[in-house]
Structure 1
Amino acid sequence: MTVPHLLPRSTATEPFAETDYPEHPYPGTRPDCSFVHLDGVGYPLLPDSTTDSGWRVRTGTRTEPCLDRWLAEHGAEPLRQRRPVLAYGSNACPEKIGWLRRNLSLTGPAVVLRAECDGMAAVWSSGLRPRDGQRPAVLAAASGVTEQHTIWYATAEQRRVLDRCEGRGKRYRLVRLHDSASIALENGRSPERVLAYTAAARGMAPLLVNGSAVRCVDLEQQQALGLSGSPAVSDGLACSEIVGEPLPA
């Protein structure tokens, strides 16, 4: 399905080091472009409907190959064999992706596409992140809200790394979002059968302050740590929890 293009076109043309976008404080920083990450480097992606994948890789040279061709050259699965996973917190940060490689054995190119998301928002969780005590984000329904996030096009192996990172079944649950038409990629298309990690336990539910969730775009990490309130009973999302392995792409 094609939807109106909302994101401003990126002007990024050169590969960048993952350290250009640090992960601390949570949720870290992210480039204003879609990109593919490998070996500590992010390569900007340019939408191009004339290619098989719909994207070209900006390598920093005159050569801008189709993303699928570039992936094949690196022994990796093409875009159509990957499953879209909404990344609305630190997993959109290049340095965090490097952390996943060093600490959880993430392998292969990580394809991260910018997206506009309608009717949902990243909000501060009622729990804290186990590894460093920072307050993480969770996803919640948000009528009338549009936010910029990213879609990981993950291989099955990469998604299992995300399972471990997110504490699937304990802190977060893996779900399929029912209304993926509310998500528009940078090239104006909507991904199908989008997965996401949402709060699995009351201790990780959206934090309600004076009865309302607090969007991450409205408050930085230092201030978020000082919030007090109560966990929401529900995140309000239209989704179905995935039991076991998701269906292949």
Structure 2
Amino acid sequence: MSSPDLPAAPVRSPFPDSDYPAAPYPGARPGFSFVHLDGVGRALTPDSSVPSGWRVSGDGPDGGCLDDWLAERGAAPMRGRQLVLAYGSNACPSKITWLRTELGLSGPVVVLTARCTGLSAVWAAGLRVHDGQRPAVLVAAPGVVEEHALWFATPEQRRVLDRCEGRGVRYRLVHLHGDERVRLADGSEPRRVLAYAAAGPQRAPLLVDGRPVRCLDVDQLAARALLGTPSDGDGLVCTEITGEPDW
């Protein structure tokens, strides 16, 4: 059942990557949950009557169970996948296709909208080397509510994200276990949520007049011109994951 306080967004399903371009960073993202494969996304809607809890839209008159849709494509079911917070470009369908082309990402990618309380995506201190754009980084933000997404990733897909995010150099893979809340459209609030947090000064939150700058408040063009200093912390209550998550 859908949560009553998560507003519905207009849905086109299936949809092509071109509906959601990657430039400028962080790219455009659907305002709804989706599964992505071969440059095409299909909307997902919560439904507690099916085993996965989710139906695939645009796949038959009533939509089918997501687990069945995944199985038909030789992919793992929802249960047992790793939940990774996507607060920057990783919720953009065109970026997902880039991950396939450039880093060998394979299989259907499941991306569920997530209302995050106590977390915020802010601009990082350093610019990306390859295009000069300013990336996002995660901070604790008590009382703040933002809409982001969760990848339900296979271990192989998460390892592709590790490579993309420069795990251990630019970002750390962490398990969030503070007071933050991550709520899905079905009303559930998963606790085993992974995220990529800053690993050094280049990806530390940028402080302007002593405060981080939310990505929601300043677009990429203005963010590139910001002047400030790297923060010495992000406020997250988390544990860095070494190796593979043990769940």
TM-score, scaled to structure 2:
0.96
Counterpart mapping for 1:52-131 below 5 A: 52-131=51-130
CA distance in 2, matches of 1:179, 1:55: 28
- 2:3–2:185 contact (8 Å) kept in structure 1: no
Q: Supply the RMSD in Å over aligned alpha carbons.
A: 1.6
Instruction: Give the corresponding residue for 2:238.
Output: 239
Aligned AA (1:72): A
Q: Which runs of 5+ in 2 are unaligned?
A: none
Deviations 1:191-244 (Å, cap 9, x if unpaired)? 231000000002210000000000000000000000000000100001000011
The Cα shift of 1:7 comes to: 1.8
Report the alpha carbon displacement of residue 14 of structure 1 after superposing the two structures with TM: 1.8
Q: How many angstroms apart in 2 are the aligned matches of 1:73 and 1:63?
A: 17
Q: Is the deviation greater in 29-38 or in 8-17?
A: 8-17
The alignment-based identity, stated in percent, is 59
Residue in 2 that maps onto 1:219: 218
Instruction: Judge conservation of contact 1:173–1:198 (CA < 8 Å) in 2.
Output: yes
Deviation at 1:9, TM superposition (A): 2.1
Residues 1:123 and 1:11: Cα distance change in structure 2 (over 3 Å)? same
Secondary structure of the residue that 1:10 maps to in structure 2? coil
1:31 is matched by which residue type in structure 2? P
Aligned AA (1:39): D
* CA contact 2:123–2:134 (8 Å) conserved in 1: yes
Matched to 1:140, the amino acid is V
Q: Does 1:167 align with 2:166?
A: yes
Query: 1:184 deviation in Å?
Result: 0.2
Equivalence for 2:31: 32
Using the alignment, how far apart are the partners of 1:153 and 1:121 within structure 2?
20
Task: Give the Cα–Cα distance (whole angstroms) in 2 for the partners of residues 181 and 17 of structure 1.
Answer: 33
**Unaligned residue ranges in structure 1 (runs of 5+):** none
Q: State the distance in 2 between where 1:212 and 1:35 align.
A: 34
Task: Figure out how many residues of one structure are paired with residues of the other and give that number.
Answer: 247
Report the CA distance shift for 1:181/1:138 in structure 2 as closer, same or farther (over 3 A): closer
Following the alignment from structure 2 to structure 1, what is the Cα–Cα distance between the partners of residues 97 and 3?
33
| Mapped contact 1:5–1:187 kept (Cα < 8 A) | no
2-side partners of 1:125 and 1:217: how far apart?
13
1:216 is paired with a residue whose SS is: coil
Q: Are the equivalent residues in 2 in contact too, given 1:6–1:116 (CA < 8 A)?
A: no
